[in-house]
Structure 1
Amino acid sequence: MAAVLDQHIIIIGGGVIGLLTAFNLASKGRNVTLIDRSEVGQESSWAGGGIVSPLYPWRYSPAVTALSHWSQDFYPQLAERLLAITGIDPQVHKTGLYWLDLDDEAEALQWAARMNRPLTSVDISAVYDAVPVMGGGYSRAVHMADVANVRNPRLVKSLKAALLALPNVVIREHCQVIDFVREGDRVLGVTTDEGDVLGDSVVLAAGAWSGDLLGKLGLALPVEPVKGQMILYKCAADFLPSMILAKGRYAIPRRDGHILIGSTLEHEGFDKTPTENALDSLKASAIELIPALAEAHVVGHWAGLRPGSPDGIPFIGPVPDHEGLWLNCGHYRNGLVLAPASCQLLTDLLVGDEPIIDEAPYAPAGRLNA
């Protein structure tokens, strides 16, 4: 057992996937070095909205659904644990979510009945009673009362603080991974701009940048950057009591009255410059959803890069023919939603525990191109 616990695991990427993977593995007694090319948690994990549900959960495959359901159930206790350890509250805020004027409402309700999820059709007048600031003109709604949002910048801050408090974790920021250290087919570690770091296993969790790194091994990972832009307003704490979503755009209330409006879907490579066109489009959506925001000041506007992947199904597990190399990447629009389950599954597989769910749909085997 001592030899197993002496294992050194290198994690490339300090977003929520890398941070939570590190936390899980360190909690299992492994020694962990987490490497990030900038500061941890500053890319898509910081930029996202933090709805603890896929935007349209009934449109996803059972593979995404299995991860999201496990994560949704786990998030409250994760937040409590991190708050207890660090004093930083990730603010898992259960507001519920109204979907307005869905084209596929019947499919959504059929999915909910099949999956035993509490999604119900509600009279639109009841929605206006519950959310009086909502814009006019909507005629139908479905509602899920138990959907939460997590304040993702605080989640990554609390995860970093929890890792810094552990004696078996090293975080190396502003450290660029350039290549893998190999001996035959075995991956022994990584080459960085500060020298080699050797370990027993390497976990690639670098989000939209994962494909570039895996390309060093001659493997084609179908993960590409997909830009998303958001804007932020500040209102009274009780201004918006629930999340609302219409025409692909959403409004998310934080506990202190901040309102997030998102988001765009843009294929612009690794360019994450915020644009005036997106700002105007997001403002228009904000005012359509909540007319009173026409008088509110935009306090923030930013962009992030999602790790786009086929069908949004992440890659979780060992890389075939490259002993010692593991993937936990490609979560597309649902990195924050799927993080608890994805990171627990990767941990289970790496340490040899019984996996929380069937790992087969996420296995890199058969999904990478040489």
Structure 2
Amino acid sequence: MAGPQRIPGILIVSDEIQLPALYLKRGEDTRLRAGHLWVFSNEVDVQRSPLGGFEPGQACVIADSRDKPIGVGYVNPNSLICARLVSRGIEHALDRSLLVHRLKVALALRERLYEEPWYRLVFGESDGLPGLTIDRFGDVLVAQTTTAGMERLKDAITEAALKVLKPRQLWWKNDASIRSMENLPAYADLGYGEAVAAPLIVREAGLEFECDPVGGQKTGWFYDQRGNRDHLRALVKGKRVLDMFSYLGGWGIRAAAFGASEVVCVDASQSAVDAIGRNAQRNGFGDRVSAVRADAFDYLKALREQRERFDVVILDPPAFVKRKKDLAEGRIAYRRLNELGMQVLERDGILITCSCSYHMPRASLLDGVQQAARHLDRQAQLLVDLQQGPDHPVHPAIAETDYLKGFVLRVLPA
């Protein structure tokens, strides 16, 4: 194919495809050429390619100041991250063919990692599809778009998914708050297939959990913690376990399966508490797993006052730091939570604590745990570092893809 021809504001990609060009200022291509995929609005040469001339989600060629194309992406003039690179070079358009290829590449990794088809199939930038998440639940897919570019490609995504995976259903769970940053509406609905009354089932480690692709949190299940939950095997046999922020009982019911004598699951959502009860019964642990609806901080304080003690305490809260400016307040919240968790631990207990806040550094989380331990005159021993599972691969050039951190700690009297 011949190189791109220069027309004001246009790069001819092929005989059939013409895309508008988004030109970067001098030197602003360095980060993209190093592997990053995002373009910020202050990096664009708006004299040559005014952002106001683009439609939200419109495909474009991203070019440097010397007219050399970097690749094909899409634009949202209304967002701080005003463009995302999807394909390097200009050989491929943003169409079903490219999506099919990316899905096949993503699928090959997951099929190598897992024996059964329950996993995160697409993890945005890390799988070369910025703004798209797809979770797989057997023959059901739950997808989420968080950018105008991917929203515009919804039909092509559906077609590509049908070609590669032939799912029975595809749900769109497009109610994430991050969509507001791209001026996208919030909704959740069935994109393909027929709705049925039966609950959606996820399988993990031989257990079954029912989840809700429309009304549940995120895309219905937290696959990122699956490998971390495996560590419970060596820690909980014959032990009393407290699972805070339990959601559908992923940690707690796994603990019961590994031989915990008693598990108490706590969540603020009544629907989650009801689901925990059903999931415990489904897996044969109704006699050892109980579920309580309560605010986590209030419940831990009440347990402390009642002098209740657990051998293992699991703290897996939602993100306390959603924006960088919330970091100082978030640090206090994580430290406070860990201190409360330690106060209901037996003298030689196990604390599992996590954070899914990208803006909360791993070192800061551990420092807060240490401060909490010293405040209680206790000693913490770090046993295992926790991170997201391999179906959430980290993009080395994009720090934001490395978001989940946590620790398994032994907490002793000083």
Give me the TM-score of the superposition, normalised by structure 2.
0.21
Structure with larger Rg: 2
Higher strand proportion (structure 1 or 2): 2
